[in-house]
Structure 1
Amino acid sequence: MGPIRAEIAALELSGITRVAAGALGDPEVIPLWFGESDIVTPSFIRTAAQRALDEGRTFYNYPRGVLPLREALSRYHQRLYGLELHPDRITVPGSTMLSVVIALQCLASRGDEVILIGPYWPNVRQACIVQGAVHVDVRLLEGPQRWHLDLDAVRAAITPRTKAIYVNSPSNPTGWVMSGAEQLALLELCREHGLGLIADEVYHRNVLTGPDPAPSFLELAGEDEPVFVLNGFSKAWAMTGWRLGWMVHPKSLVTSMAVLAECNNTGAAIFAQYGGIAALEEGEGFVAEFTARCRRNADLVMERLGRHPRVRLLRPEGAFYAFPRIEGVTDSLALARRVLAEAKVGIAAGYTFGDGNESHVRLCFAISTERLDEALGRLIGVLDRLE
């Protein structure tokens, strides 16, 4: 390959895309593989973006995000958490995934180690590889009643090359929600070892068994600590295709973030940002309705799938995924492909979410209850036929 970096040449599709790629658009498939619902973005959000287009908001703007959106985000954090966040600490570079990339660019150089609290979304691992960083997996403990963090295992994974820890709560794929005490313990560990922290809180409004919103590291971290809190519009407001997210970063990085946003993406689409303002200011009713749907669907998954004799499933506390362990399964990719072929249901293979997940699969239960019920019936039919 000549000058092409070996890490880039060796990249492989995630276990989600490897299953989904050949069946996208098939009307017979019930798609539970991606992290989205079947709800179109609410009309009041679409209308705000359309209005911005009609007003001619189609030009370049400040790469960290238009000021009205960053001010709306400041008010949003005040409303949710009682926090006074200056708009200078908020950057809207594009998608939330881009925020992951930028946070890694800030913290990790080639050969540095980044601890990933797993199971985790596979694109985070890929982003580490692209950056040239070494990912070190530390898996949550499973059970008996919930997933939980083994802080001693995290501590044991820290070496002189460790630069940062990544954690996602509420968690994709497990549904684990960190308590405030767990967050403080992890933050104190980072402080003790001089580590950066990347806190992915994109499911902060998708809470199934506790108070809304989920606890945030923003309630604990100082304004100039090396803590990057990542968030976005995709999950709470059904805006997955808009590629619009935000990050709260150390106060000292205002200029650096403008440069990074400009280099990576030249900023988020301007008219989309006005849709984001509408979501923040008018979207509480939708958030409540969508969360109620996900709670009903979580109950359905526990009732139908959770009772299957081959399934071990902890009730998700947040997000909108089930991550069951299927007893006797050692090749999750093969199982996902079989479910697609035999049942026309799209699920994600567990191996792609990090070490120790080969017996798991992930399914998204954010779709309509009726379609979910049909999908579960088809999936259970395949599980009944496993040898």
Structure 2
Amino acid sequence: MRDVVAGLEGSRIREVANEGIGREGVLKFWFGESDEVTPEPIRQAAIASLQAGETFYAHNLGLPELREAIAGYTDRLHPGRGSAHWFGRLAVTSGGVNGLMLAAQTLVNASDEVVVLTPAWPNLVAQPLILGARVRSVSLVPRGGAWTLDLEALRQAVTPATRVLIINAPANPTGFTLTADQQRAILAHCRTTGTWIVADEVYERLYFEGDASNEPAPGRPKPDAPWRGEGRSPSGGRPICAPSFLDVAEADDRLIVAHSFSKSFLMTGWRLGWLVLPPALTEAVGKLIEFNTSCAPVFVQRGAIAAIAHGDAVTPALVAHLRHCRDTLVPLLQALPGVELATPRAGMYAFFRLPGQADCLDVAKRLVREAGLGLAPGSAFAPEAAGWLRWCFASRDVARLEEGVRRLRGWFEGQGKA
């Protein structure tokens, strides 16, 4: 076994989840996914594909029909260049994590320097490490519960020796988002250093700073027809999304952007994503896909085509519900004495710190055992996030969030009396 593989740290989120195995009544908010099933039109499209016998290999880069749909979708989100511009820049991947690993395999040599903006989803650090890179982190800075970017510190960290800069924004777990001006500044600096940017923008549609008048009122979806027929923008204009590097980059910039169907279309278990990359890399990434997974399953890709076709009904309603979940949970947590938490602008997580609880892994395990509450420890995302906890608020029933806070309050008050 390679030393780097032997030395990989296991997922601390899984470690906490394992603590809950066999325990009845645990409220599970540790994983980054909604508890809502994939909408029926998407499921039916996959079923129809299987019934039609589409069980064979497909193009390495994805079905042309799916790439055309993604190109049109990308141009709606980031208009001005036309869908034909995007088509030749797309590679369909077996999940967002597979796309990020393909990006790393494309760019990173052993011993290359890679800089990651942290706290971050652990895979973003582990992937270049697995390839033998030297990984350095630049930490966001918590101020009043909000994690903010020190742009000058990032500039100083990214030098001509830096092969790749990895940024997740909107960010898991912090909810941090970049502004367009920050993106322009980062691009300008990386042009001078020759550094590639790998931007994980999986959460770009789960953004709460847009025009709420174009979105439906918050409400729980109907169990027999989740999200169906809801959420279409009356104006039919550009969908709301977070600032993206695709909006400010030049056509020839050293930029790869990773996306996924998991979050915005309620398709976490389907394992399908895509990369937007310079055309000169597309053929090479196709080769890498052949050597990794060969291709994504056709029936999954058919489901993704349906997801994009029904996106105006699915995603805005999902975002409105997530906003309702956020606006239910965050004030309740902020009301706990000493809790440090800012309202996230994007994503599906409340990232907060309890006073006097520095060992967040131990706290997370104890919450499972003693309060029946499952949260992710902040130390899973970076050493500087020790003492923080991540709560995924993508809950179909907001009453579960309220009950979770009640359990947390009871446990925390019990610690104070001990």
Aligned position for 2:250:
222
CA distance in 2, matches of 1:133, 1:179: 29
Q: 1:369 to 1:341 in 2, by over 3 A?
A: same
Post-superposition Cα deviations, 1:164-219, rounded to whole Å, max 9, x if no partner, equal 11111111111112111111111111111110001011011101233521111111
Aligned position for 2:11:
14
Q: Runs (4+) of structure 1 moved beyond 3 Å?
A: 24-27
**Residues 96-135 of structure 1 mapped to structure 2, 5 A cutoff:** 96-135=96-135
Q: 1:189 to 1:44 in 2, by over 3 A?
A: same
Aligned position for 2:380:
352
Say if 2:404 is the partner of 1:375.
yes
Unaligned runs of 5+ in 2: 212-239
CA distance in 1, matches of 2:319, 2:24: 26
CA distance in 1, matches of 2:296, 2:379: 32
Aligned position for 1:204:
204
Task: Determine which of 26, 32, 52 is the counterpart of 1:55.
Answer: 52
Task: Determine which of 315, 323, 329 is the counterpart of 1:287.
Answer: 315
3-state SS of 1:126 partner: helix
Aligned position for 2:155:
155
3-state SS of 1:386 partner: helix
1:26 CA drift (Å): 4.7
**What residue identity is the alignment partner of 1:370?**
A
Aligned position for 2:226:
none
State whether residues 31 and 347 of structure 1, in contact with CA within 8 Å, keep that contact through their aligned partners in structure 2: yes
State whether residues 289 and 295 of structure 2, in contact with CA within 8 Å, keep that contact through their aligned partners in structure 1: yes
**What residue identity is the alignment partner of 1:123?**
N
Q: 1:209 to 1:223 in 2, by over 3 A?
A: same
**What residue identity is the alignment partner of 2:192?**
E
CA distance in 1, matches of 2:400, 2:327: 15
Say if 2:263 is the partner of 1:266.
no
CA distance in 2, matches of 1:347, 1:86: 39
1:12 CA drift (Å): 2.1
State whether residues 294 and 320 of structure 1, in contact with CA within 8 Å, keep that contact through their aligned partners in structure 2: yes
**What residue identity is the alignment partner of 2:353?**
R
Post-superposition Cα deviations, 1:240-276, rounded to whole Å, max 9, x if no partner, equal 0000001101110121011011111111111100100
**What residue identity is the alignment partner of 1:118?**
T
Aligned position for 1:246:
274
TM-score (norm 1): 0.96
CA distance in 2, matches of 1:169, 1:254: 23
State whether residues 92 and 245 of structure 1, in contact with CA within 8 Å, keep that contact through their aligned partners in structure 2: yes
Post-superposition Cα deviations, 1:207-236, rounded to whole Å, max 9, x if no partner, equal 123352111111122333220100011001
**What residue identity is the alignment partner of 2:287?**
V
Aligned position for 1:70:
67
Task: Determine which of 35, 39, 43 is the counterpart of 1:42.
Answer: 39
3-state SS of 1:356 partner: helix
State whether residues 60 and 295 of structure 2, in contact with CA within 8 Å, keep that contact through their aligned partners in structure 1: yes
- Cα RMSD, aligned residues only: 1.5
Aligned position for 2:220:
none
CA distance in 2, matches of 1:360, 1:67: 44
Aligned position for 2:233:
none
1:325 CA drift (Å): 1.6
State whether residues 14 and 123 of structure 1, in contact with CA within 8 Å, keep that contact through their aligned partners in structure 2: no
CA distance in 1, matches of 2:293, 2:415: 46
Aligned position for 2:232:
none
Unaligned runs of 5+ in 1: none
1:159 CA drift (Å): 4.4
**What residue identity is the alignment partner of 2:270?**
W
**Residues 324-335 of structure 1 mapped to structure 2, 5 A cutoff:** 324-335=352-363
Say if 2:263 is the partner of 1:235.
yes
Post-superposition Cα deviations, 1:20-71, rounded to whole Å, max 9, x if no partner, equal 1242475511110101111000000000111111111110011111100000
Number of equivalences? 384
CA distance in 2, matches of 1:131, 1:381: 45
CA distance in 2, matches of 1:263, 1:219: 32
CA distance in 1, matches of 2:24, 2:277: 42
CA distance in 1, matches of 2:356, 2:47: 51
CA distance in 2, matches of 1:285, 1:86: 24
1:238 CA drift (Å): 0.7
CA distance in 2, matches of 1:364, 1:86: 32
**What residue identity is the alignment partner of 1:187?**
L
State whether residues 58 and 296 of structure 2, in contact with CA within 8 Å, keep that contact through their aligned partners in structure 1: no
CA distance in 2, matches of 1:258, 1:192: 29
Aligned position for 1:339:
367
Task: Determine which of 304, 310, 315 is the counterpart of 1:276.
Answer: 304
3-state SS of 1:142 partner: strand
State whether residues 93 and 266 of structure 1, in contact with CA within 8 Å, keep that contact through their aligned partners in structure 2: no
